A and B are shown apart, each in its own frame.
Chain A
């Protein structure tokens, strides 16, 4: 009997324990405590039983309770678990607080919002990247600069070669006609340097002198700006030619008084606007030279018909006809003073200085694509220049022509004086005032009172005389008017 009672008690105790634990598990809070306190003595035996049974209870009946994922042989129960529960089960094996899972319901929302609000990855700044490709603008700039430098060297050398080719071709002719070929003005003695003066990378000068009837001849080789890439690109749009400008300064006694020009129509229209002498003395429009057998491209500007007749002799016509494509303009003028000066009216009190000049402008063939060989074709034009110098010396106007020319010059001077009358008056007035002031100062500075008195009296007397003269003149004018 006693044994039976013992056996029943032994059975009853675990049963009571399980009922109690079930109650406790309904709260779900003190799992760990429960494990520590109640199952400590049943560690080995009851652990599996205890752990299994409450988990079974949990898994089957309480989905909301935490459960371990490390259950074995409980696949049929995992369907009841949400994903959250399994994650929580993972966490259960570690000592986490419940507070860590406060916002746990939001986690599914967080995973959705990830797709709405992606992480923006900022690009690495370009200069920190190890690639030269990001500096493509700089590479372009440097390439452009290198291209400019290359063009500068090539253009400069080409211009230099063209200049020396021209000089080598013309040297003989020049040296046979002029004593001094090549002078830069720096040497004390007038000796031929035999070299061109380089003013620019595209302008070369040559001074020739020492010939009868002309003071000197300045030749300017005005090439295109081949050394400047911008100019090269501009010339692709608008072609231009190299030019040779020759300015012969005649002696006063070796040229008569006339103004005459021949050249392309376009050039003559431009010169007539720009040049002082052509605008004043050749007021008519450029006339066609067909009358003298010149090609249509050339026109004539002349002060009077006699000059044209005198200039257009057979040889001149031959030169102009054969080399018409190379001739830009030819100007003979005894009143040459350069282009019109844009001065203020107050400054212009005197006529600009004039010189007897022959001007020639030739275009180098090739229209920009010139080669050194083309310079040989300019040699006959230099012969034309020499011939023109001699022609200008020989040509003399007849009496009528001379009178007409003198009249024209007087007319121009009178017009100029009229225009500047007011300015000249003002200038004279200011000069008079200056004189008076200087005299007064002299009197004041005189220390001797006696001398001072005498000087003052003399000045007074002079002024009185002037006044009397003026009055006399006025009276005479009045009498004449009456």
Chain B
């Protein structure tokens, strides 16, 4: 008796082979977060550091489950360190731009 053939297995959807179909939001936000963190650290701008924290949060919320958690964590830590360093150097409260 011939055993029934095994059904075809799951293959990840084409988004992995065709990068154009992937949602670029988490990658953009990751990059933006790093840029703002560096600006906040180098130029001692508090608002840059805060925006970097927001960018890393948005990147985390939109990330895929297959994405490397180490990269997420490093981006997050960098933005937090930017905020902390800005306040250690200048404890004055942030002034609004208006």
Are A and B genuine complex partners?
yes
A contacts, CB < 8 Å to B? 125-127, 134-138, 141, 144-145, 148-149, 152, 179-180, 183-185, 190, 197-201, 205, 207, 209-210, 215-216, 218, 220, 225, 227-230, 338-339, 341-342
B8 proximal to A (CB < 8 A): yes
> Complex Cα distance A230/B54, Å?
11
Which chain B residues border A339 with CB–CB below 8 Å?
A: 18, 20-21
CA A286 to CA B78, docked complex, whole Å: 52
User: Are the CB atoms of B57 and A190 closer together than 8 Å?
Assistant: no
Q: Which chain B residues numbered 1 to 40 have a C-beta less than 8 Å away from chain A?
A: 6-14, 18, 20-21
For the complex, what is the distance from the CA of A205 to the CA of B64, rounded to whole Å? 13
Contacts of B18 in A (CB 8 A): 338-339, 341
When the two chains form their complex, are residues B91 and A127 in contact, meaning their CB atoms are under 8 A apart?
yes
In the bound complex, CA of A141 to CA of B50 (Å): 7
Residues of B within 8 A of A209 (CB): 7-10
CB-defined contacts of A135 to chain B, threshold 8 Å:
93-94
The answer to whether A205 and B93 have CB atoms under 8 Å apart is no
A267 vs B8: C-alpha distance in the bound complex, in angstroms?
31
Contacts of B13 in A (CB 8 A): 205, 218, 220
A68 to B10, CA, bound (A): 113
Q: How far is the CB of B47 from chain A (nearest CB, A)?
A: 8
Q: Considering the complex, give the chain A residue whose CB is closest to the CB of B62.
A: A228
Q: Report the Cα distance A218→B12, complex, angstroms.
A: 10
Which chain B residue shows the least CB distance to A225? B62
- A228 to B63: give the CA distance in the assembly, Å: 11
Q: Please, which residue of chain B has its CB at the minimum distance from the CB of A151?
A: B61
Q: Is the interface of B mostly helix, strand, loop or mixed?
A: loop
Residue numbers in A under 8 Å from B66 (CB-CB): 199
Q: Which of A180, A228, A341 contacts B61 (CB 8 A)?
A: A228
For this complex, into which size category does the number of interface residues on chain B fall? 20 to 34
How many Å lie between the Cα of A424 and that of B21 in the bound state? Answer: 28
Q: Is B92 engaged at the interface, CB distance under 8 Å to the other chain?
A: yes
Q: Give Cα A224–Cα B79 distance, bound, in whole angstroms.
A: 27
CB proximity to A under 8 Å, residues B32-60 = 50, 53-54, 57-58
Residues A126 and B7 in contact in the complex (CB < 8 Å), given A152-B61, A341-B18: no
Residues on A with C-beta less than 8 A from B93 are 126-127, 134-138
**Once the chains are docked, how many angstroms separate the CA of A148 from the CA of B51?**
13
Quick check: A180 and B50 within 8 Å, CB to CB?
no
Q: In the complex, what residues of A have CB within 8 A of residue B50's CB?
A: 141
Is there an interface contact between B7 and A179, defined as CB atoms closer than 8 Å? yes
Pick the residue among B8, B20, B21, B58 that contacts A215 (CB under 8 A): B8
Contact of B58 among A127, A179, A230 (CB under 8 A): A230
Q: How far is the CA of A160 from the CA of B7 in the complex (A)?
A: 28
Residues of B within 8 A of A229 (CB): 61
Which of these, A180, A185, A342, contacts B11 with CB under 8 Å?
A: A185
A215-B8, A342-B20 known; A228-B58 Cβ under 8 A: yes
Which residues on the B side are within 8 Å of A137 (C-beta)?
Answer: 93-96
In the assembled complex, the CB of B84 is this many whole angstroms from the nearest CB of chain A, namely: 12
Is residue B89 within 8 Å, beta carbon to beta carbon, of the partner chain? no
Q: In the complex, what distance in Å separates the CA atom of A218 from the CA atom of B65?
A: 18
Which residues of chain B come closer than 8 Å to A338, judged between CB atoms? 14, 18, 21
> Are B62 and A185 in touch, CB under 8 angstroms?
no
Q: Mark B53-90, 1 if CB is under 8 A from A, else 0.
A: 11001100111111000000000000000000000000
C-alpha gap A215/B8 in the complex (Å): 7
Q: In the complex, A30→B65 CA distance in Å?
A: 102
Contacts of A210 in B (CB 8 A): 7
Contacting pair A190 B62 (CB below 8 A): no
Alpha-carbon gap, A190 to B9, bound state (A)? 7
- Neighbouring A residues of B58 by C-beta, 8 Å: 148, 228, 230
